[in-house]
Amino acid sequence: MTNEEVNKLADKVVERMMKIKSMESWFDHIRHSEASHVQDYRNLEMTEEENAIGDIAKLMTLLNLFQEKEQYEKCAIVKRRITVVNKILKKYSK
């Protein structure tokens, strides 16, 4: 490589690093702002049942996704977790 090519490559590397740093700074700012959705989510103070309902919805979505991709090992893991969450939900179905 010539010196000019090395300098161009170095410029591109620095430019990408600056973009990454800018993105990290922006994310940190948003994450720590009062308007952050993450903070709103923490303030929900959900019950065990509400958490379990959210978990089962997520797990069913993942199960469908993994089945479509024929990732059966992941399906088995998700099914085990679904069994655990279903036990929690049974406590509240009485």
Is the pLDDT at 81 greater than 60, yes or no? yes
Is the pLDDT at 83 greater than 80, yes or no? yes
Which pLDDT score, from 0 to 100, does residue 93 have?
86
Sign of the Cα torsion 51, 53, 55, 58 reads: negative
Spatial distance between the Cα atoms of 53 and 55, rounded to a whole number of angstroms = 5
Q: What is the tens place of the pLDDT at every residue in 26-73?
A: 666 666 665 555 556 666 788 899 989 999 999 999 999 999 999 999
> In a 3-state reduction of DSSP, which class is residue 2?
coil
Do the beta carbons of residue 59 and residue 85 sit within 8 Å? yes
Own/partner long-range contacts of 33-42 (Cβ < 8 Å, ≥24 apart): none
Residue 40, both tokens = 């709103």
Spatial distance between the Cα atoms of 83 and 81, rounded to a whole number of angstroms = 5
- Amino acid code (one letter) for 64: N
Q: In the predicted model, what is the mean pLDDT of residues 80-88?
A: 94
